[in-house]
Amino acid sequence: MRKIEQQMNDAISDNRNWQSANTAVAYNPETNESTVFLYGNKIAEVGDDYIRLFDGGYQSNTTKSRINAIMNEHGIAGEGVFQKDYEWFIRLYNGTEFFTTEFRNGMRLGALAATDLLV
């Protein structure tokens, strides 16, 4: 993991604002949520029991690296984003096994809120 990614994860864990070079973390104490930005584009929201992922409009290696660093530190070991034939996929754990699905902007990992359910 890159030094900047470790600093980013430390800021998320410590619930504090942080910025360095092209990466920033904005902590919102009202929602107890950290939002991660890369070049000013939102790439993740990290709450107490969930992570919501975005590509920020750019499916770049840097975006993928930042997302994987967040998932490694705040998600389930073994989950992550990867690329095959110029398309992004995500490897997730469903409680019994790992599976692969396409990456979707705004996808939420972890506990689901009522607003995430189709009613």
60 located within any domain = yes
11 located within any domain = yes
Task: Determine the Cα–Cα distance for residues 51 and 32; give it in Å rounded to an integer.
Answer: 12
Look up the domain containing 81 and give its range: 3-111
- pLDDT tens-digit map of 24-62: 999 999 999 999 999 999 999 999 999 999 998 999 999
78 CB contacts (<8 Å, ≥6 apart)? 91, 93, 98
117 located within any domain = no
Strand bridging mode 33-38 / 23-28: antiparallel
- Global model pTM greater than 0.85: yes
State how many domains the chain has. Answer: 1
Residue 3 host element (H or E): helix 3-13
The residue ranking higher by pLDDT, 52 or 114, is 52
End-to-end CA distance of the chain: 40
116 located within any domain = no
119 located within any domain = no
